[in-house]
Amino acid sequence: MRGAWLIWTLMFAGPACAQTPAPPAASPLDNYAEAAATTIIAEQTCPGIQVKAGQLTTLRLATKVAAAQEAILQEKLRTRATQVRQQLAADGREAWCAQALAAFGPQGSVAKGILATGAPIR
């Protein structure tokens, strides 16, 4: 009975369902590189947005970057910064800044509180 259910599921789901592997999970280094590149470029590009350096530092410490991983992280940061700049150019400053703030601002969907607006951050 179980085999029939599997055949029925694959038949209706199509071959793409059976052949499409799940995307690999992002590593902590990838996540940190995304946060650092996006927030630093946002501070440089978006009016009134500032990086809360303490929050970014806390995220880096939570990533637990080993000394042997520093070169890998630097390459990930360069690659991610290039991707972020390309996305900024494609989306336009206003839309991209809104997305960056939504992802990393006070209500951040990716990481809360790395970006802030308004008063100077110390």
With pLDDT > 70 as the criterion, what percentage of the chain qualifies?
Answer: 76
Structure tokens at 62: 């939570």
| Residue 30 and residue 75 in contact, taking contact as beta carbons nearer than 8 Å | no
106 φ, ψ to 5°? -55, -30
Measured CA to CA in angstroms, residue 59 lies from 15, 34, 46, 53 at distances of 41, 11, 22, 10
**Stated pTM of the model:** 0.74
Burial class (CB in 10 A: 0-12, 13-18, 19+), 44: exposed
Q: Tens of pLDDT along 20-62?
A: 444 456 788 888 899 999 999 999 999 999 999 888 888 888 8
The answer to whether residue 9 scores a pLDDT higher than 50 is no
